[in-house]
A and B are shown apart, each in its own frame.
Chain A
Amino acid sequence: MTKSRHLAAIRAAFPLTVPVLCGYFFTGMAFGLLMYSGGYPWYWAALCSVCIYAGSMQFVAVNFFAGGFHLLQVALMTLAVNIRHMFYGISFIDRFAAMGKKKLYMIFSLTDETYSLLCSAKVPQGVDEHAFLFWIALLDQLYWIAGTLAGCIAGALIPFDTTGIDFAMTALFTVILVEQMEDKNNRLPALLGAAAALVGLLVFGADSFLIPSLLAATVLLLLCRSRLHKGGER
């Protein structure tokens, strides 16, 4: 009975997740390749995708493995980069609460993409809602892990010059920034962030400007709140 319940849920969830399959498989692959080209063992990459499971953050974490970061810096940067996730759960407080044992996994796996799928997903008739939501979340993570492993394997099997492949991370953030700039409300915050980063880079140098710049940007944004406040738009 439970088995057929899950099969029905997978059958209903899979088509919805295909766009995420494409995105996650190849982004995960870029992460795997990046870890491989950094000389890190494949199981570090796999462990990241299983336990951390956060796209942009894992790309930032690749830098941590190179050494020179205090764990407190790691924690601060993770909180800063992932702070947007704080707002995803708000829409699901009641729905996840009803999911019992699956609730923890649903919270853990609430990435940008899974969030947007869950927001728009309509439970088909005759399909168990909880199993349906759970499988959307789990399938997405499986694509991400599969992509990561594929990246490690590709790096090991196809010996090519990977010099410059770390640019994938720069490209990823550039692409996200361009998408955010489509919304006029995001332009001033992005400009403030860029200014905080450039000033920080000049003052603190390339190795240690990130945290001061993140803090400065947060303070600046709070100070500009009355000017930037969007009165509950979006």
Chain B
Amino acid sequence: MTSPVSTFGALAIIAVTALCTFVTRAVPFAFFGGKKGSPAWITYLGQVLPPAIIAILVVYCLRGITPTSYPFGIPELVSVAVAAVLQKYKHNNLLSILCSTVLYMFLVQTVFHS
């Protein structure tokens, strides 16, 4: 495993993340101003990339699961299912996140405690 970054490392990470975030927000003001609008392929990526990236991030969050050994990713999969079902029927972000996180904490701290 890697060790946590130093204060300087953290400042560098925050600076780079902040700068790149600002760049994504500033792009239209720098390039797409005026009458021409943005190129078609950029508009296309803007529509299709967000769902693809969020799907990748969900997999990224679940990357630590080991399906072949105890607890087989059961706490993760059950909690993700609860979050998804709650969101599907209630459409309340806060409720879905809170309930599934509390459930997950309960599962890993008591039921699947090793």
Alpha-carbon gap, A167 to B104, bound state (A) = 7
Count of chain A residues with Cβ under 8 Å from any Cβ of B? 95
Main DSSP-derived SS at the A contact region: helix
Alpha-carbon gap, A108 to B23, bound state (A) = 9
- Contact between chains at B44 and A214 (CB < 8 Å): no
Residues of chain A in range 54-69 having any CB-CB distance to chain B below 8 Å: 54, 56-58, 60-61, 64-69
Alpha-carbon gap, A216 to B3, bound state (A) = 29
- Render B75-114 as a binary contact track against A, CB cut-off 8 A, 1 for contact: 1100110011001100101101110110011011100000
- Contact between chains at A51 and B55 (CB < 8 Å): no
- Contact between chains at A65 and B13 (CB < 8 Å): yes
Please tell me which one of the listed residues B25, B63, B88 contacts residue A110 in the complex, with CB atoms under 8 A apart.
B25
* Chain A, residue nearest B103 (CB): A167
- Contact between chains at A193 and B55 (CB < 8 Å): yes
- Contact between chains at A174 and B80 (CB < 8 Å): yes
- Contact between chains at B17 and A177 (CB < 8 Å): no
A132: chain B residues within 8 A (beta carbon): none
- Contact between chains at B38 and A61 (CB < 8 Å): no
Let me know if A213 is at the binding interface, CB within 8 A: yes
- Contact between chains at B56 and A67 (CB < 8 Å): no
Q: How large is the interface on B (under 10, 10 to 19, 20 to 34, 35 or more residues)?
A: 35 or more
* Chain B, residue nearest A234 (CB): B47
* Chain A, residue nearest B91 (CB): A179
- Contact between chains at A44 and B14 (CB < 8 Å): yes
Let me know if B29 is at the binding interface, CB within 8 A: yes
- Contact between chains at A93 and B33 (CB < 8 Å): yes
- Contact between chains at A26 and B94 (CB < 8 Å): yes
Contacts A57-B17, A86-B46, A174-B84; A194 near B29 (Cβ below 8 A): no
Please tell me which one of the listed residues B26, B58, B60 contacts residue A210 in the complex, with CB atoms under 8 A apart.
B60
- Contact between chains at B63 and A201 (CB < 8 Å): yes
- Contact between chains at A197 and B55 (CB < 8 Å): yes
- Contact between chains at A175 and B96 (CB < 8 Å): yes
- Contact between chains at B26 and A89 (CB < 8 Å): yes
Interface residues of A (CB under 8 A from B): 22-23, 26-27, 30, 38-40, 44, 47-48, 51-54, 56-58, 60-61, 64-69, 71, 74-75, 78-90, 93, 96-97, 107-108, 110, 161-165, 167-181, 185-187, 189-194, 196-198, 201, 206, 209-210, 213-214, 217-218, 221-222, 225, 228-230, 234
27 CB-based A-B contacts, threshold 8 Å: A30-B101, A48-B14, A53-B18, A56-B57, A71-B12, A71-B16, A74-B17, A79-B24, A80-B53, A87-B43, A93-B29, A107-B22, A108-B25, A110-B25, A161-B109, A163-B105, A163-B108, A170-B62, A174-B58, A175-B83, A175-B87, A193-B55, A193-B56, A214-B53, A217-B53, A221-B48, A222-B45
Additional 8 contacts, C-beta under 8 A, given A97-B33, A230-B47: A26-B94, A64-B13, A83-B46, A89-B32, A168-B101, A175-B93, A175-B97, A221-B48
